A and B are shown apart, each in its own frame.
Chain A
Amino acid sequence: MSGRGATPVVRLSGVGKTFGTAATPVVALADINLEIGQGEFVSLIGPSGCGKSTLLRLIGDLTEATGGTVEINGKPARQARLDRDYGIVFQSPVLFEWRTVEDNVRLPLELFGHDRASQARRAQEMLELVGLTEFAKRHPYELSGGMQQRVAIARALAFSPSLLLMDEPFGALDEMTRERMNSEVLSIWQRTGITVVFVTHSIPEAVFLSSRVAVMSARPGRVTRLVDVDLPRPRGLETRESPRYFNLITEVREALRGSEGGSSEATLASPERTAAEGGIG
């Protein structure tokens, strides 16, 4: 399932990230080793401050590693970014409020110099994919939070990147909307075959979506455990009610607790709590 053998889409070897000055360094990430294969759906989960968002930004070359190597499709992260190998979705939709929904989806295509006809065609396809065709001419403020995030997903996929990075994309949504969005993301993932790296601090969300869950610890941020999620696909309501799902949630929760080394157990919250937190990851 993890597609080992071929060139991995993401390869992190000995990756570290230190903030601050030489006198007072803050080690955000230490010695991260992770390979993500073609078509995998990998979630990064951990308590607030474990550096999971930083790790995602390293993969996207939005910040630079202070140690180790980050390779995307066998290239340095910077080259992969310039080659537009990935699309990204943030916690907030980050739509340009002066553009219509359609024009927001077209933004990357405009920047990449696609001709107008193919921009329009592609935006149309993407809005169909996320089910927002009839909102093409609306402005973002006319859409609900969940719909705005769907536009952001359409925009991230518009130029057919091989990798989709998602940074707590549904953290600001209510639980019902979040579950619906999870199903939609899964269906998009299955239809496009794209590789996804998904940052979250919701255990059920990570288990429901992923083929693998990377459990992280804080100070310094490390990947302490990789949990293979062998739930059958396609996943739906029955998945959320199956015993195996609950077992895996327990497994991830225990891995998180173990990674915390027994200290400050308060941050290892139940799913209800983690859903409400707006942590910086």
Chain B
Amino acid sequence: MQSLRRNIPALLILVAILVGLEFFVRSANVKAFIFPAPTAVWTALLANWTEGYHIFPAARVTLTEAAGGLLIGTAMGLIVAFGVSRFPRSRDTILPLAVAINAIPIVAFAPIANNWFGILSPFSKMAVAASLVFFPIMINVLRGLTDVDPSALELMRSYGASPGAVTRRLRIPNALPYFLTGLKVATTLSLIGAVVGEYFGGLTDTLGRVVVGAASALRFDITWSAILVVAMVGMGMYLLAVAVERVLIPWHPSVRGDQPA
């Protein structure tokens, strides 16, 4: 209830923008292929939900690709972060490499991934998504594992704690908020990766292909409705990550808000 009240201003602004757009498009007689009216986008969405451009089945495939990429990229990011924190000497080798890989433009990697993993295989899209997800997860988790209060390390040393115990009881809980920050960024990135992968070819019933296909047929009302669905799926994934965060780190300042001590 409280969160609903907090979101009321944002909702009002959204409604005002939509009403304003509708009014502007109609009164200025803007051509539909330049900017379709919000009601036209909504009509196109309903008409193509399961028929025509199959937006709903397409969304399911795209979501699967994004989720798969998120899972793979997160796993890889975690493995590398733990490896580098366990073997600090590898840091100077691994980190520049990771930065270089992260600097490769995603549009350059997408056709390569299609070539490697098969243009019709969902794994080619997952690979693109995973490559985007990897970096924010890896860099955040590494930070969380190494950015530990020196006094806490001294405390563990005073107990004669083994490195494994220090990792389990101090480093991992310490890294959890960092990981979840990375995860929130990664959810939206995974969806972007999946859609960009689809742009460069693949199954017809994917959101990326709907955007491309409808645009080349000058059906921009459908293009916009597909974009709307992408945004909705992205928001859903993000909110899921926020929910996970609330469950895992209720004690963290970012979650508990400004309650008095």
Contact = CB atoms under 8 A, between A and B. Distances in A.
Interface in B241-261: 249, 251-253, 256, 261
B261 A98 contact: no
Given A62-B154, A90-B154, A111-B169, A98 B176 contact: yes
Contacts of A97: 251-252
B159 interface: yes
A143 B149 CA distance: 19
Contact of A81 (B158, B170, B176): B158
B151 interface: yes
Contacts of B253: 141
A84 B155 CA distance: 12
A144 B261 contact: yes
Interface string B80-124: 000000000000000000000000000000000000000000000
B261 A90 contact: no
A88 B159 CA distance: 10
B161 A143 contact: no
Interface string B141-157: 00000000101101101
Contacts of A274: none
Given A141-B253, A141-B256, A82 B160 contact: yes
Contact of B159 (A84, A98, A143): A84
A139 interface: yes
Indicate the member of B160, B169, B249 with the most A CB atoms within 10 Å: B160
A142 interface: yes
A197 to B, nearest CB: 13
B173 interface: yes
Given A96-B170, A143-B261, A86 B158 contact: yes
Given A141-B253, A141-B261, A98 B158 contact: no
Nearest to A139: B251
B86 to A, nearest CB: 20
B110 to A, nearest CB: 39
Contacts of B239: none
Contact of B169 (A87, A90, A107): A107
A136 to B, nearest CB: 15
Nearest to B177: A98
A108 B173 contact: no
A139 B176 CA distance: 17
B159 A108 contact: yes
A143 B160 CA distance: 28
Which of under 10, 10 to 19, 20 to 34, or 35 or more describes the interface residues of A? 20 to 34
A107 B173 CA distance: 13
A204 interface: no
A81 B160 contact: yes
A126 B150 CA distance: 25
Nearest to A109: B159
B256 A92 contact: no
B10 to A, nearest CB: 29
Contacts of B158: 60, 62, 81, 86-88
B165 interface: yes
A92 B152 CA distance: 10
A143 to B, nearest CB: 7
Interface string A93-122: 010111000000001101110000000000
Nearest to A95: B152
A57 B154 CA distance: 9
Given A90-B151, A97-B252, A84 B157 contact: no
Given A62-B158, A94-B149, A111-B161, 16 more contacts: A60-B158, A62-B154, A62-B157, A84-B160, A87-B158, A94-B151, A97-B251, A97-B252, A98-B176, A107-B159, A111-B159, A111-B165, A112-B159, A141-B251, A141-B253, A143-B261
Interface of B: 149, 151-152, 154-155, 157-161, 165, 169-170, 173, 176, 249, 251-253, 256, 261
Q: Which 9 A-B pairs have CB atoms at the shortest separation, nearest pair first? A: A94-B151, A82-B160, A98-B173, A139-B251, A90-B151, A88-B158, A111-B159, A62-B154, A108-B159
6 contacts: A57-B154, A82-B160, A87-B158, A98-B252, A111-B165, A112-B159
Interface of A: 57, 60, 62, 81-82, 84, 86-88, 90, 92, 94, 96-98, 107-108, 110-112, 139, 141-144
